[in-house]
Structure 1
Amino acid sequence: MACTMAGATRALEVKAAVLRIDQDALLPISRLDLKPDDMGFAGGVLATEDNQTTGTFLGMDYSLETVAVSPEEAQAALERLLGEGISLVVVMSDDATLLALADAAGDRALLLNATAPGDELRNDECRANVLHIAPSRSMKTDALAQYLMWKKWGDWVLIQGSHPEDFALADAYRRSARKFGARIVEERGFEDTGGARRTDTGYVLVQRQIPVFTQKMKRHDIVVAADEADVFAAHLPYHTWGPDLVVGSAGLRPVTWSPAHEAWGATQFQTRFEKLTRRYAREEDYQVWLALRVIGEAATRTGEADPASIRAYALGQEFTLAAFKGQPVTFRPWNGQLRQPILLSDGRVNVSVSPQDGYLHQVSPLDTLGTDAPETTCTAFTEEADR
């Protein structure tokens, strides 16, 4: 579909797209997590309306094209967008697809990563033509670790799934534990054996399996679930052998957005989104909205809409953007990652927001989350600056 908001003049046309790569996947454990057809796209429509509100007075015309394709069709879809003169592309994909698209685009486009969480994308595999709106895994695990240490819940049992993304998430939790002084007293692995997780017999199996699986764990304060594939974590609360607190992929979760969030003006975002879509905003919607607002802010300040100008302003010291999280968001110039607070939500209320008080940093407390400048192995951005 296409969305165009035309102002009174056409002094500057700002053309953007949201390219969503739809992977084959099992149904989520809970029907409450079923993905809407307009996932991400709805955030894009709202952001385009917001951008045009300012653009109308400045003689700017914002347009948005939304495209959903399979992984096999991704590069052809990107080429078609480039052929239409659209060089600002918000990408919703996994890590591997984002890398392939970035390499195919080269300097013809600026890609804004709305969903891929891989830490390697911000380090060894970083690309100069990609800005990361989605937080890395380590930003989220650091956000949760800070809160757990503030609560003095320093002894963790880590339960990880059997999929590659689960291993990556578990590695991020291990790094966060070392970084903030937590102790992983025991690790267990949950093997995905398939099966119908949402059938009547599935409930019976879960009620029998999880308590046995969690028997005789070493003394601990908290159970940390690393289940990015959404196989078992949702079943841990109330099913463990003992009365355990569960965090991570279930229970208390680190998220960029929650329908329960209403502080710092977030209520007006929620109500406008719900009026537009008749549903609650998901993380993907918020991250696409944020990506397009980055484009809008940079275009407004520079009067330009080409990838190089948008990128340069976004990475500069003057760029800030209100994001309904209590402080403006900015980019890390060493790897193109957007700094942003992380909400800690139990699904009904926001329990806290990280970074936590007391975690100080010489530049920004937000840089206590994820890869800091002295730790980065990303060289693409420094090489670009040296040219």
Structure 2
Amino acid sequence: MLRSLLSPTALIICGVFAQPVLAQAEPAKQVHIGVILPAATDPQSLEASVAKAAQQGAAMAEEEFQLNASMFEMDFAVVTAQANGADVVAAADSLVADGKAFAIAGAFDAEEGRLLSDWSAAKGVPFVNLFAADDRLRNELCKPTSFHVAPSAAMYLDSLAGWFVRAGFRNWFIVEADTEEGAGQYARLGRALNDRHFGAREVGHAVVPAGGAIGEDVLSNISGSGADVVVLLTPAEDQLTALKAMEAAGIKLMVTGFPYPETQTRSFFALSREAAPKLGSGMRATAWEPTLDAYGARELNARYMDRWGEPMEAAAWATYQGVKVFFEAAMFGGSTEPDAVLNYLSAPTSVFDVWKGIGTSFRPWDHQLRQPLYLSQIDETATDAKQMGLLVGELPAIYMPGTDPVERLDQMGDLASQSQCRF
């Protein structure tokens, strides 16, 4: 009842200040957070949908946290730059030049994640990875200055295995992109199926070139494999191409794909069902779902819809949360000095409310944010963007009584004993 009586401003303030703190400290007086946003040259592309959502998430975070900062006479700002690929390093340099930003949030693919992680370690600047899922960033390429709001590939794949196997989809055909990242995803999905789910098995496997069409031989193998589900470990555009080809070939199976940033947009949902009205209206893993209507997510989704007239997609959520964790580190740690910020983010007593129903924290062995993930069903006929996807699954089941939240959240992704990360 209390929540319904609070204004949106009060909700924001309560959401920030209801966090455990390391020690009572005066908030830092200047808090400037750098965010590197994707640059999209084609406004009709899937990349443009991700870029727009990220920009709006950053703008909303700045507007909302300025309300809190003003209470403490804090000079707060979110400073942004747009860059892709190798250009993110120059963008990061420009954002921290002359003390403009004390920390950087960014990375929307594996290359950007690696470059910014290396840069942060070399510069000693705290970095939050917003959307790069590549497991190597949490393993052999990990850095002590990097933290991951982005769910890892291992978390996504463990969730997909959990959802589909429990729903009776035990026979898997896996289509893997001929890339290092695709090979890593394939190996990790195999571990999820073999080690965690009795009775699940791979009945077929194909490696396809990134950017290429799925061949007739692969289509034939899928048709004759006896699979219950096909998983596309390929880039977003390749997933659309494969869906269209499979539907044209008369394949009638559940099809899902690896949740790259572009696939977690309503634009992709629309293109998926357009490419394949039946196969393309399946279920997709997401880091955030605009129809999530619990845990305070209702208010966050509603505020975003009121502000932008669009549903809050995963890129907007991730960018907002990247700003939020740095804001809280400066607020509660009382300093924007790198050591103080890094200590706050990594402390086991630091808990972050990311509106997923449970206090989350960064794992000490790889700095991955523990968090639930969601399964969205693409609606075949919806015209309203928000209703184009519908929340149908959540993992882990954090609401089950008598369980340790951290232990339950650590059921997804790599445990310390499995990690190759060495800080």
Range 19-28 or range 212-221, more displaced:
19-28
In structure 2, distance between residues paired with 1:304 and 1:96: 30
Whether contact under 8 Å (2:229, 2:253) holds in the other structure is yes
Q: Which runs of structure 2 are paired with 1:215-364 in the superposition (5 Å)?
A: 216-231=223-238, 232-235=241-244, 238-239=247-248, 241-249=250-258, 251-347=282-378, 348-356=389-397, 363-364=406-407
Q: Where does residue 103 of structure 2 map in the other structure?
A: 88
Q: Deviations over 1:78-110 (max 9, x none)?
A: 222221311211012432333333333425310
Q: Where does residue 183 of structure 1 map in the other structure?
A: 201
Q: Deviations over 1:193-242 (max 9, x none)?
A: 658xxxxxxxxxx9x96995465322232222222343135437755634
Aligned-partner residue type, residue 53 of structure 2: M
Q: Deviations over 1:170-215 (max 9, x none)?
A: 33322221232221111134445658xxxxxxxxxx9x96995465
In structure 1, distance between residues paired with 2:183 and 2:413: 17
Report the CA distance shift for 1:102/1:242 in structure 2 as closer, same or farther (over 3 A).
Answer: closer
In structure 2, distance between residues paired with 1:71 and 1:12: 33
Report the CA distance shift for 1:242/1:41 in structure 2 as closer, same or farther (over 3 A).
Answer: closer
Report the CA distance shift for 1:186/1:89 in structure 2 as closer, same or farther (over 3 A).
Answer: same
In structure 2, distance between residues paired with 1:356 and 1:275: 30
Aligned-partner residue type, residue 361 of structure 2: T
- In structure 2, the residue corresponding to 1:364 is in which secondary structure? helix
| TM-score of the superposed pair, with normalisation by structure 1 | 0.82
Match of 2:158 among 124, 142, 164: 142
1:77: how far off? 2.0
Report the CA distance shift for 1:24/1:94 in structure 2 as closer, same or farther (over 3 A).
Answer: farther
Q: Where does residue 101 of structure 1 map in the other structure?
A: 116
1:299: how far off? 2.1
Higher-helix-fraction structure: 2
Report the CA distance shift for 1:76/1:352 in structure 2 as closer, same or farther (over 3 A).
Answer: same
Q: Where does residue 19 of structure 2 map in the other structure?
A: none
- In structure 1, the residue corresponding to 2:158 is in which secondary structure? helix
Aligned-partner residue type, residue 187 of structure 1: H
In structure 2, distance between residues paired with 1:364 and 1:377: 20
Range 361-370 or range 109-118, more displaced:
361-370
Aligned-partner residue type, residue 37 of structure 2: R
- In structure 2, the residue corresponding to 1:112 is in which secondary structure? strand
1:73: how far off? 3.0
1:336: how far off? 0.8
Aligned-partner residue type, residue 243 of structure 1: K
Q: Which runs of structure 2 are paired with 1:149-188 in the superposition (5 Å)?
A: 149-181=165-197, 182-188=200-206
In structure 2, distance between residues paired with 1:234 and 1:262: 30
Whether contact under 8 Å (1:211, 1:240) holds in the other structure is no
Whether contact under 8 Å (1:159, 1:223) holds in the other structure is yes
Range 107-116 or range 166-175, more displaced:
166-175
Whether contact under 8 Å (1:119, 1:137) holds in the other structure is yes
Whether contact under 8 Å (1:236, 1:246) holds in the other structure is no
In structure 2, distance between residues paired with 1:137 and 1:243: 27
Aligned: 1:69 with 2:69: no
Aligned: 1:15 with 2:32: yes
Whether contact under 8 Å (1:258, 1:283) holds in the other structure is yes
Aligned-partner residue type, residue 67 of structure 1: A
Report % sequence identity: 23
Report the CA distance shift for 1:10/1:356 in structure 2 as closer, same or farther (over 3 A).
Answer: closer
In structure 2, distance between residues paired with 1:223 and 1:46: 38
Q: Where does residue 9 of structure 2 map in the other structure?
A: none
In structure 2, distance between residues paired with 1:322 and 1:11: 21
Aligned-partner residue type, residue 45 of structure 1: A
Task: Tell me the matched-pair count.
Answer: 358
Whether contact under 8 Å (2:102, 2:126) holds in the other structure is yes
Aligned-partner residue type, residue 366 of structure 1: L
In structure 2, distance between residues paired with 1:11 and 1:21: 29
- In structure 2, the residue corresponding to 1:338 is in which secondary structure? coil
Report the CA distance shift for 1:377/1:193 in structure 2 as closer, same or farther (over 3 A).
Answer: closer
Q: Where does residue 48 of structure 1 map in the other structure?
A: 62
In structure 2, distance between residues paired with 1:370 and 1:10: 34
In structure 2, distance between residues paired with 1:215 and 1:224: 11
Range 332-341 or range 99-108, more displaced:
99-108
Q: Where does residue 14 of structure 2 map in the other structure?
A: none
Aligned-partner residue type, residue 328 of structure 2: E
1:351: how far off? 1.0
Match of 1:370 among 390, 394, 413: 413
Unaligned runs of 5+ in 1: 1-8, 196-205, 381-387
| TM-score of the superposed pair, with normalisation by structure 2 | 0.75
Q: Deviations over 1:7-40 (max 9, x none)?
A: xx99611110111354889975xx7x75265331
Q: Deviations over 1:105-164 (max 9, x none)?
A: 425310110021110110111011111110111110101111223223222111223454
What is the CA RMSD across the aligned residues, in angstroms? 3.2
Q: Deviations over 1:260-307 (max 9, x none)?
A: 222222222122212322322221111111111111222222222222
